[in-house]
Amino acid sequence: MSSELYSQIYELIRQIPEGKVATYGQLAGFLRRGSARQVGFALAATPKGVNIPWQRVINAKGEVSERTGDGEGASTQKKMLLAEGVFFNTAGRVDFKRCGWQGPDWEWLEANEYKVYPD
């Protein structure tokens, strides 16, 4: 994978404000190339020392995705989101109306060479 693409993904994720969430697919829609799966791959491959609010990226169902490994990642992510004020319904899904991020403003997207009109 392209380190340039991953850098673009990380920079986009940094724009998600506290208390808001975005989906893998939503983020991919702002990229000139790339997919929701590549956003996930980039998150999984985040190097130590790269500071991004990874917890604010969730799946299209509004759920925290399970992770491989020790099984604590999803639980940690949900706790972090709750601490930021993200609301979950009784089914464990994020309330997108209250907590969904609409994306950066078009000037930022244009200046940083992202799609102004996402797919």
Q: What is the pLDDT of residues 58-113, one digit of tens each?
A: 999 999 987 655 556 788 999 999 999 999 999 989 999 999 999 999 999 999 99
Task: Report CA-CA distances (Å) from 22 to 57, 68, 103, 108, 119.
Answer: 5, 21, 8, 17, 15
Confidence band (pLDDT; 50, 70, 90) for 56?
A: very high
How far is it, in rounded angstroms, from Cα 103 to Cα 30?
Answer: 8
What would the two tokens of residue 17 be?
A: 């404000």
Per CATH, is 3-111 categorized as 1.10.10.10? yes
Q: How many CB atoms lie within 10 A of CB 71?
A: 9
pTM: 0.91
Which amino acid does the sequence have at 73? Answer: G
What would the two tokens of residue 29 be?
A: 């829609």
Q: What is the pLDDT of residues 24-35, one digit of tens each?
A: 999 999 999 989
Task: Report CA-CA distances (Å) from 73 to 19, 31, 96.
Answer: 19, 26, 21
Q: What is the pLDDT of residues 58-72, one digit of tens each?
A: 999 999 987 655 556
